[in-house]
Amino acid sequence: MATYCVGDIHGCHAEFLRLLELIRFDENQDDLILTGDLIGRGPLPVETMQEIFRLGPKVKSVLGNHDLNFLAVHYGISKARPKDNLEVILNSRHREEIVDFYLKCNLMQFHESKPLVVSHAGIYPMWDIKAARREAKEIGRVLRDPQRRLIMLRNMYGDEPKVWSATLSGLPRWRFALSAFTRMRLLGKDWSLDYKNSAVDPQEVASQGMTPWFRLTPEMTYKKKNYKLVFGHWAALNGRCDEPSIRALDTGCVWGDRLTAWRFDDDQFFSVKSAGYASI
């Protein structure tokens, strides 16, 4: 039984099918964990979700920022932007099924028997794996509570707080956790989140006094326990991350590059070329 992780699909249904064929995925035996952002901007979001449903319980996913945006749109909190291509889901008979799927997803996904953890943007460096799991579980409880869910979705947008503190509570704590798990890329010297900067050139990053989040995790609990941490979200990295315990899988399929899978068992990567959606 093999375990695969696949980077951000973004509704690129054809590439997803080709990648499953390339890795010879067996839904009866293999496990598949998706890094989130299953929809958003890509051409066939409904078909992508239907394929995930067809594959059955061996497929798990974490929540990404585009997935949360869809939930906010579904509940009337935000308006659908044409570039996100959500109207086809909103008008689909599968809409409620897709919403139900997302409400059951978490911000972190642990493999049941292998030292593997997946999060859309990563794990905030001030958290060890126990703390990260605690924050992810709390967001899961909120998301599955009909009243608190709407409060959180209404208030999840915003760039504060930027730095974690154990004294955070309520909405500020929820917002920080959502941001860390789904939006994080670069951190300042005070470990503050930079919500909009996706620079990857080392000189440019250093000149701004910023550091990629995964450079600030030398003593993380997941490393001590030999976990492999898989994340997506940061397409500009193009899969480049030389930290031994971390794998980056968003290789920009929806932007015209490729869709990538990684096999945990032998550390092998597999990719298929994008059909080209950079103009979407």
Tens-digit pLDDT profile for residues 111-165: 999 999 999 999 999 998 889 999 999 999 999 999 999 999 999 988 899 999 9
Look at residues 139, 179, 187 and name the one whose alpha carbon lies nearest to residue 156: 179
**Does residue 97 fall inside a structural domain?**
yes
Question: What local confidence, expressed as pLDDT, does residue 279 receive?
Answer: 43
**Does residue 280 fall inside a structural domain?**
no
Helical packing angle, 146-154 and 170-182, nearest 10°: 70
Question: What local confidence, expressed as pLDDT, does residue 226 receive?
Answer: 82
Q: Cis peptide before 161, with omega less than 30 degrees from 0? A: yes
**Does residue 12 fall inside a structural domain?**
yes
One-letter identity of residue 152? M
Question: What local confidence, expressed as pLDDT, does residue 17 receive?
Answer: 98
Ordered per-residue pLDDT tens for the chain, 280 residues: 999 999 999 999 999 999 999 999 999 999 999 999 999 999 999 999 999 999 999 999 999 999 999 999 999 999 999 999 999 999 999 999 999 999 999 999 999 999 999 999 999 999 988 899 999 999 999 999 999 999 999 999 888 999 999 999 999 999 999 999 999 999 998 999 987 777 888 788 878 999 999 988 655 555 656 889 999 999 999 999 988 899 999 999 999 999 999 999 999 999 999 998 654 4
pTM of the model: 0.95
Question: What local confidence, expressed as pLDDT, does residue 225 receive?
Answer: 66
Could you tell me the strand order of the sheet in which 228-231 lies? 108-110, 116-119, 228-231, 246-248
Residue 238, sorted as left (phi over 0), alpha (psi -120 to 50) or beta, turns out to be left
CATH of the domain at 79: 3.60.21.10
**Does residue 43 fall inside a structural domain?**
yes
Question: What local confidence, expressed as pLDDT, does residue 274 receive?
Answer: 97
- For tokens 């950079």, what's the residue? 278
Question: What local confidence, expressed as pLDDT, does residue 218 receive?
Answer: 54
Residue 132 CA, distance from chain mean position: 15
- How many domains would you assign to the chain? 1
Distance (Å, rounded) from C-alpha 21 to C-alpha 24? 5
Structural domain span for residue 53: 3-156+164-183+217-273
CA distances 268 to 56, 63, 257, 265, 278, Å, are: 24, 24, 19, 8, 27
